[in-house]
Amino acid sequence: MQILATQGLCKTYGKGETQVQALKPTDIAVQKGEFVAIIGPSGSGKSTMLHMLGGLDYPTGGKVFIDGTDIFSMKEKELSVFRRRKIGFVFQAFNLVPVLSVEENITLPLLLDHAAPDKTYVQEVIHALGLEQRRTHLPSQLSGGQQQRVAIGRALAAKPAIILADEPTGNLDTQNSKEVLALLHMSVQTYNQTLIVITHNPEIAAHADRILRIEDGTVTELEAGGSHAQ
Ligand code: ADP
């Protein structure tokens, strides 16, 4: 089942002499349960693409379909609700709310959506992420690796159609990177999540089902890896 597709998706910044074609017209399709890594040099257009896939930034041209919805055909308010329900984000900077506990950070997107959290599922996620002993802690009381685990939990909480991660291990040491990688893997397998990850980490790329390489705004597909897709 196709969960994400782009048609001629492109982005140009600026005008005239300072114009930068950050993403050239791109058609990609991602199936439910796939783990896709995006690699490429700095400044090649990776974040630009990811932000548009998640409806965080508008394209200059083209379309993004998530779960069959043409996301940029929605009004801004509708899109922000759609994002909260359908897309989980994990960033390099963990972006947790400092005054909220681990558990509150994880359920925040649901509460913002006035949805009752599926308590059993949230507890299962907290357990799977190894955060049971930390549920009442504040982000400042956690290590970087633990904070990123909370961010993964927050991304999983709404059972989104897709999780988009931008350098999720960029701020972590080797051991914590390994743990975060294992948890991202777990989310793909246990919850049949679809995951698109920008990474410089060769281990993450090696575990992906597919690798997309971006260079100067042009996306090409590299070799296939694992086999989680359904
Ligand atoms: P990457 O994520 O691969 O490092 P980016 O998507 O951030 O690359 O950037 C791609 C290109 O677009 C770069 O040349 C960058 O300088 C340019 N760019 C990114 N964001 C902006 C912006 N807001 N305004 C102007 N140029 C931008």
Segment 109-121, tens digit of pLDDT: 888 888 888 889 9
Residue 20, token pair as written in the block: 């930068």
Q: Give the CATH fold of the 34-46+79-222 domain.
A: Rossmann fold (3.40.50)
Backbone angles phi, psi at 148, to 5 degrees: -70, -30
Average confidence (pLDDT) over 35-54: 96
Question: For residue 102, what pLDDT band results from cuts at 50, 70 and 90?
Answer: very high
Report the pLDDT value the prediction gives residue 201, as an integer from 0 to 100: 84
Position in ligand 1 atom list of the atom nearest CA 166: 2
- b/e per residue 95-104 (b: at least 16 CB within 10 A): ebeeeebbbb
Report the pLDDT value the prediction gives residue 227, as an integer from 0 to 100: 47
Best residue among 12, 26, 48, 216 to mutate for probing ligand 1, ranked by most atoms within 8 Å of CB: 48
Best residue among 9, 13, 199 to mutate for probing ligand 1, ranked by most atoms within 8 Å of CB: 13
pLDDT, averaged across the chain: 91
- CA–CA distance, 124 with 126 (Å, rounded to integer): 5
Q: What is the DSSP string of 129-160?
A: TT-GGGTT--GGGS-HHHHHHHHHHHHHHT--
Beta bridge partners of 211: 37
Backbone angles phi, psi at 179, to 5 degrees: -65, -45
Out of 21-35, 158-172, 216-230, give the one with best mean pLDDT: 21-35
Using a 10 angstrom Cβ sphere, with 0-12 exposed, 13-18 middle and 19 or more buried, the burial of residue 22 is buried
Report the pLDDT value the prediction gives residue 188, as an integer from 0 to 100: 84
Report the pLDDT value the prediction gives residue 172, as an integer from 0 to 100: 87
- b/e per residue 196-219 (b: at least 16 CB within 10 A): bbbbebeebbebbbbbbbbeebeb
Report the pLDDT value the prediction gives residue 224, as an integer from 0 to 100: 56
Average confidence (pLDDT) over 184-210: 88
With contact defined as beta carbons under 8 Å apart, do 47 and 219 qualify? no
The response to whether residue 217 sits with its C-beta less than 6 Å from ligand 1 reads no
The response to whether residue 43 sits with its C-beta less than 6 Å from ligand 1 reads yes
Average confidence (pLDDT) over 192-197: 93
